[in-house]
A and B are shown apart, each in its own frame.
Chain A
Amino acid sequence: MTHVSLYLLGGIALWVLGLHALMLQRSALRRIMAVNVMGSGVFMVMVALASRGADIDPVLQALVVTGLVVAASATAFALRLATADAGDNADTKQPADQERR
């Protein structure tokens, strides 16, 4: 049992934990967090595999760096989509507020 296999197991556990919450939770924010946890699990498996050899695998690490930025972009878009209704309400509410002023 080396640290690589420990982190492989940890990554798998994180992924399954995220999937479980994704199916069980009904709130959009929680589901977005669940997808992020799943992504972190995948990244952990990849980074653990990158450090399995004598020297560290830069290709896998570079892939994860790219993946992190893509995940952040997708999260930002998803969060905006999830709160789109609330934002629209605020938009329609705003003119009324201004009239009152």
Chain B
Amino acid sequence: MPELTVWMSWLSWPFLLGGVFFFLAGTLGLLRFPDVYSRLHAVTKADTLGLGLLVAGLSLRSDSWQSVGLMIMVWLLVMASGATACQLLARYQREAESSKATTEHRQANDAR
């Protein structure tokens, strides 16, 4: 039986490292990408995947089913809230841009 736990903890390393990698990639994208949409894309997608991998890695190391269930529920909640927040921010940005565009258009017309 101890061999199984040793195996599991070895198996969890790729998941944990993958999770860290995706978090880093998402953060880099958030800092370096040029506009709001691609930044949102980077941060929500990469972080959701990164958190999922972390949860998978930690589940392999956990010793009770209850904590595994809790972690999966946390992941689902974060995923849903990330998707909602991304949608809201992107929509806000689009409306801000379109209202700016219409005012510029109107100003151009007035100038003419």
Chain A in direct contact with chain B (Cβ < 8 angstroms):
no
